[in-house]
Structure 1
Amino acid sequence: MSNQVGLCKPEIEIYQRVETFLAAGEEVLFIDDQEKNLHSAKLLGWRTLLADEEGDWVNEVESLLI
């Protein structure tokens, strides 16, 4: 997507572009393996999760889905 819109993480505008595809008030969980990419998502009120190399983040996501 970034090559199509000329934006990339962590620019907040790319996150805002994604929001245009979501229903108003939609809850978002944004997962990334780089802390710097989570900041803009947090500013938009998105829930964020750092994907650690050990894979512990998967367990956290699974617990949210149950």
Structure 2
Amino acid sequence: MDQFDPATIARRLIELRTEHRDLNLLIDRLNDEPGVDQVALTRMKKRKLRLKDEISRLESLLIPDLGA
């Protein structure tokens, strides 16, 4: 399977967006709870940011290079 194949990238984007959405919902829910483990919450937020960066990187691979 080619990692630069648009279909492969699109499938991976779906997976990452789903994980990002689920993590966002969990973070929102935990923010409202007293006594939540702040270290764990911070790790989740960092994971969410890494997912967002990976999503952006993959989306950019799907954009044709108009300068070529």
Relative to the length of structure 2, the TM-score reads 0.25
More helix by share: 2
- TM normalised by structure 1 equals 0.26
More strand by share: 1
Point out which structure has higher relative CO (alpha carbons under 8 A, 6+ apart). 2
